Chains A and B, each alone.
Chain A
């Protein structure tokens, strides 16, 4: 029976969806779950019967005849009573009658890809002119589809049409043709359901795993954007470091200064140009001071690069690695990174020869390759001075660390809390904090490495300098790795205070606490694997010589190669050598040795595997990526892909490929095992010679394309791509991204050209992600989509009369939209904010009677209600809902969709923890205010702060709120990146940017208001000019009953605990936008619902007229004006003339020293010049 009419608001229209089993969960779990990331949205079933639904069963009985169904339903209706009827329906139509998905994005007339403009093949590919299914070059999404299509429609794989349609699984690839920045394809305010999550994930994976280190993806062709651009930044900083290392004192002081500046700020083009010119002129001179090698290799690196890449290397710098790691660890790590850290992103390079049955060469040569790499890294590791560390760190021993928790319980706990709360967990995971790990969505790629085993890595028994290195790193990361994205956390010494806020005299070092905690609490039973080579000189000479000779033969005739191997390369040839062969040069002072051969093979090995693509390695400053470029890989002719014998390999009868269960001998780690079988879809793609299949197997078993090929290849000619630890979904995401790299954008009118605002948002997002700002800060609040019956929310209650300017202007048609009812008689709307936080720091969830849940009791979803704190004003139920009033109470049946926050993982994780810690000091502390001790949600930041201030703050952050438990760290970002962030915040909040004229700092405005005020002072007709600001400042701002009760002002610090202390009011004129400041003072909760700041000047309750004569609005304006002019006002209070006159008295005054000097006249307020 097909439904042909549904009475609005009838039971049929309002029927609910059956299905989910009702389970009871404890109150605590329910509350905790609200902070966790939302699960990926499942396809939601629209409740209520819909036109066209086909009733297939009633109460489980199949219905084949319409009449029977009708009779059954009529019977039920006639019986009446309190019964629930279950009706099963079939909904939706088979293709081609079904509609296109996401009409908000595609096809729809209001979508950005209108049918009339974009049509089909621009996104889908295929043969647009075809009129038959089989000729349109559809591509089946699954093997099942392929079978059905072949049988039913005569579909076939048409190799002659080179651009077949993207199958559904790769449909998002097409987005990259026009969306070259990629980040705009993430979920956004306009499109809360991410437009293209899979291709964005692929992009994230390529970025975070550093694929671009070997495979350059150049998004530009002759200056024109042709696709996503993922390329390494120019190596200016490394060139400068190498220059320092090679030439040291040979450099002039000016050259040394420029080089040092470039190490820290390689973006300083003017400095680089000066250095390059200076080096070039030395090179051109008849008697160059600097070496030939320096000029040959390093000097050219300072030249300009046309359209430079922007990405830093994805791995840590190895320039000083000898000062960080011991040989055994390095050997084991290079051999199999997962052996030490199972979750590492570093791919597997060695032991990948499962495809080669009876492999002999790899087991023989690989230990040499690894050991020689270690030897090279250690030998060329450059001098590095650790930061001075406390004795407790430098002298700590492994046995002490084993007992540290027991013997130093207080410091251990302090270290644990500091590690937990000072920001480390925003970017790192640690097994001791599993709930922090859970704050990230499963697809989120954690910025930094897992630190669960770091105590083993730097254990002093194996690595005596380990603790010192860790201390130095934690305290000042850029000292070791100048391009790291790890920020300086300002782990400065802390003068401890007691619960009363009084100094105890104890001074602690958070870096010391964290380092000792990590060393003591992050110990695993890891040991270097058997066979780890600690002394490379113990390796077989014969094998080393074989490898070295193989390489030498690339550079020299065989006879010469053999001679050089045996005797070394004569000194007189040294200047003609640029490559690794320089390692073999012998001279009087440096005879030929096994060590030389090791360094030679080490350098060759690093070059072979392209380690420098991800790591900064001395001697590889000028090295180029080793992989094929990928900018147009999505269009690469499949005939140019070297499938070789891979199909044979994958077929079970040939070599027992991993398509079947298991193949070859188990060896080494990191192989695609039998639990990672190749999906049928990709197997077929390989068999048919398609790109997707090639890429899948390349990611799964990269060297398997050497199957039955190695017999005709030298060892060093074999494939060398490492195996990345990707699962099936990750591989598919990467392939989706790769297939979209077509380097062939359509006509310009189709390419996405963001407007100025979107441009700023896109650029800002790239920087936000680079530095993981969202690790700490909530960048976008939660959004809950609601559906409700009219009047369920009603008008919002108001406590006191608000200032007129507090009301959010919402157009009447916007309000009217929220009153439109759908077929079920329901209204819809969205609210933006955060779950209300209770006093224990966890979200407040109430039961159906609006009583808070008991943590220990169990509840069903249907008996809950969710208080939600608004962070954005909204129209709801025909009314305006302002921020800072009562939470909106949402019942489960009203909640249609829920979108989690963007960012803020650490903040949300820490809410209950810092509340608990604070309650130890003050049992009355409230978790509902804990957000003010944590990184602030950056909602409305653009409207809040002045662009200039934000720019400077990002580059040189300083403490603002004394109440915070962690400081904003300093990232080594460029001024350009800071500008992009400022632009982002301004754009997202539609704030003025880059300049905002401040009327409040205009002299005319101040004079006018001052005159008005003086006119009011009936009892003080002779009041001097400037009295308005003076009254506001002296009677309100520094009145101990008002602002200075909690706030610092200038050098004044109130007697208050850190948690209750407010920011310095002497700085707000630089930081806040003027109107924000006024509105904030008027009603702080309207901006930050969690703030503890009270309303000082209520609209209907002005302050005592003795303090300031005027209405509440006038008082508010005066306080705002004096704060916005604090600098000018303070200048009035001190006269430079008086100081000068005192220092240099005029002769007549000096003579008449006994005559009192006239007080200096206050300086006139001048208009602001900035």
Chain B
């Protein structure tokens, strides 16, 4: 305990309160933990388990299913080069080769200084800007080899810190309030609406029956 900072812990508890069941907050809280550490440290996993009320093995078992949840140490910048079909047609594999050479690691690897992890990614839904690259899941636009080198230099010098914050996709904007209506309130409201709907339906039915009778007479 005590691995997650008080702020992250407070955010995590707020996330739990958004869902009918605490376990639903598991993945969002993993994103928060990655925002703090860059990857899911065992200490963080243990704490997340406690927050959502499952075992650490269940958190790890769930997290390991998802590409974005990193269970191994990851570079400060995760560089994802999409090589799926639309990007492949526009030279994605050539760009990936270049990136491997420039960073000195194979796809999947992390540079020795811990700055970059390079990834051969599936479609990032930016196919109109192919070949598509993301850094910490921020689009950096269509890149050629020179553009890639410039990007790496910028990142090393911290020139793009505003645009590309650390890992974790919930680091910059948070929900301002919790839920504003309790489940009981909502059910009571829905029950009232249902009664109103049924009353209208009954009226329509008796009205129609009345009209039919009228026509028969």
- Pair from one complex: no
Residues of B that sit less than 8 Å from A by CB = none
List residues of chain A with CB under 8 Å of any chain B CB: none
